Amino acid sequence: MEVSANVFHGLTAANSTNNVPDDCFPALVSSACQGILNQSPHIDPRLRKLDQDILKETLASFALLISEAVKNDTDVQSLISLLEECSFSKDRIKTFVGVFNKNKAFLQTLLANTHETLPHVLGVKWRLDYYIKSNQLEKTHQPVYLLSLLTEVPGESELQELNFSCTLEQLQMLVGKLRDASKCVERFSQI
């Protein structure tokens, strides 16, 4: 598992017994989990004796590590390897892994329920209409494309239709933007 330099620095700071004494370490890891779960708005009293800058940095580092580990479903051995790389003692690693495993299921449920997803386009129906005249003009002679996107919204059982109309120029612009988006996704998938 890889983490940013800032997270690595915060983890290294949390490993120092000068910054975080052994009796405060379990409270620090628990507070990081509770902060993600939003269970406890207050800081554990044991942590109040720590330097506030170090407390903020270490809490943020642990919260980021925990949320990334949960999001990527990181195995325990990878977490242990990362903590060993930060020179954590076996007791601190055991404490971290214990708190992480205890809260992992709750964190996964929370992360699964908090993301917003856009509807997935499953199909397109289209029709070309040709307007000869309108209420405002005697003669228009303009083609209009009527599009219907069949979409699936995650978490809902029914499919939905999104209907709109556009001119030839608007349709060409839409197709161009979709091609650009497709190329961007293709580039990111190759990284």
Q: 120-143 as b/e, with b when 16 or more CB fall inside 10 Å?
A: eeeeeeeeeeeeeeeeeeeeeeee
Question: Do 137 and 152 lie in a common domain?
Answer: yes
Locus of tokens 């270490």: 58
Question: Do 40 and 82 lie in a common domain?
Answer: yes
pLDDT for 14-57, tens place per residue? 888 888 888 888 888 888 888 887 765 567 778 888 888 888 88
Q: Which is it for the CA torsion 54, 56, 58, 59, positive or negative?
A: positive
Question: Do 100 and 174 lie in a common domain?
Answer: no
Question: Do 103 and 42 lie in a common domain?
Answer: yes
Question: Do 41 and 135 lie in a common domain?
Answer: no
Domain of residue 32: give its range. 5-114
Question: Do 20 and 109 lie in a common domain?
Answer: yes
pLDDT for 75-119, tens place per residue? 889 888 988 888 888 998 899 999 999 988 888 888 777 656 778
Q: Which is it for the CA torsion 109, 62, 38, 27, positive or negative?
A: positive
Question: Do 157 and 95 lie in a common domain?
Answer: no
Question: Do 180 and 99 lie in a common domain?
Answer: no
Locus of tokens 């239709």: 161
| Residue ending a domain, choose from 51, 81, 114 | 114
| Residue ending a domain, choose from 97, 114, 131 | 114
Question: Do 76 and 54 lie in a common domain?
Answer: yes
Question: Do 44 and 90 lie in a common domain?
Answer: yes
| Residue ending a domain, choose from 84, 114, 144 | 114
Strand 159-166 and strand 120-131: pairing? unpaired
Q: How many domains does the chain have?
A: 2
Question: Do 144 and 102 lie in a common domain?
Answer: no
pLDDT at residue 94, as a whole number: 92
Other CB atoms closer than 10 Å to residue 7's CB: what's the count? 20
Question: Considering the entire predicted model, what is its pTM?
Answer: 0.58
Question: Do 104 and 128 lie in a common domain?
Answer: no
pLDDT at residue 16, as a whole number: 83
pLDDT for 134-190, tens place per residue? 677 666 678 889 999 999 887 778 899 999 999 889 999 999 998 998 898 888 877
Nearest in space to 124 (alpha carbons), one of 161, 169, 154: 161
pLDDT at residue 30, as a whole number: 87
